[in-house]
Amino acid sequence: MTASTAGYAQEAPTLLNRYESVTTADVLQAVIHLIPAHPCDLLDVGAGTGRDAATFAAQGHRVVAVEPTGEMHIGAQRLHPSPRIEWVSDSLPDLAVMRGNNRCFDVITLTAVWMHLDEDQRVRAMPLVCSLLRPGGVMTLSLRHGPIPPGRRMFDVSGEETIQLAAREGLVCIVHAVRQARISAGVTWTWLGFRKA
């Protein structure tokens, strides 16, 4: 477990139920249109309960689901057994396992992940994540704003900062939207979509 995933192991049983109570289509509403209709290679970083990975796999995509918290990882595999999902234990900011595999993806999703990294980690992580994205590929990312749950480690990260970091790596922002949270009062989300030049 890393500092950025503090609180998730202890709350895994509750979170597994809570995150499964909403659909991928609802949660990713602002960026779901960026996911190709044809089967592609998709990397879900911080896969959590596996809800999104399972949705993408059911659509025919080849999914690699990265989850650093053992309790979430195990629970997600039980909830969503699929031959189209490859589960990997790895974590930001370095994604050492994924980078060691020399693989690239058409789509990378980072849902409710990026704000767990401090500024230095975000600066370090962006080029590493972008190196896993094929030219012409798409990356989606969400940022949480609002009260921080007890025991969690989060930072208030702006969309503008994230867009600038991505631009340094040749990613062009094609979606920038703000949405109210569906399951957390007083919380808003910034949704960003990028395409790699």
User: Rounded CA gap, 118 and 132, in Å?
Assistant: 21
DSSP 8-state assignment for residue 35: S
pLDDT confidence tier of residue 1, bands split at 50, 70 and 90:
very low
Taking only the tens place, the pLDDT of each residue in 48-91 is 889 999 999 999 999 999 988 777 778 788 888 899 999 999 99
Mean pLDDT of the chain: 89
pLDDT at position 6 is 46
Which residues, 6 or more positions from 1, have their beta carbon under 8 angstroms from its beta carbon?
Answer: 9, 68, 69, 70
Residue position matching structure tokens 């993408």: 56
- What residues does 142 pair with on adjacent strands? 191
Task: Evaluate if residue 2 carries a pLDDT over 60.
Answer: no
Q: Report the percent of the chain where pLDDT is more than 70.
A: 88
Taking only the tens place, the pLDDT of each residue in 137-158 is 999 999 999 988 888 789 999 9
- What residues does 105 pair with on adjacent strands? 133
Mean pLDDT computed over 21-36: 92
Cis peptide before 93 (omega within 30 of 0): yes
Tokens read off for 17:
């139920």
Task: Evaluate if residue 5 carries a pLDDT over 60.
Answer: no
Q: Tell me phi and psi for residue 112, to 5 degrees.
A: 60, 45
DSSP secondary structure letters along 83-140: TTEEEE---TTT-HHHHHTT--EEEEEETT-GGGS-HHHHHHHHHHHHTTEEEEEEEE
pLDDT confidence tier of residue 181, bands split at 50, 70 and 90:
confident
Task: Evaluate if residue 11 carries a pLDDT over 90.
Answer: no
What's the CATH number of domain 3-196, 3.30.70.270, 3.20.20.80, 3.40.50.150, 2.60.120.10?
3.40.50.150
pLDDT confidence tier of residue 195, bands split at 50, 70 and 90:
very high
- More confident: 38 or 182: 38
Domain range annotation of the chain: 3-196
Q: Report the percent of the chain where pLDDT is more than 90.
A: 69
pLDDT at position 45 is 96
Taking only the tens place, the pLDDT of each residue in 167-180 is 999 999 999 999 88
Q: Coil, helix or strand for 39? A: coil
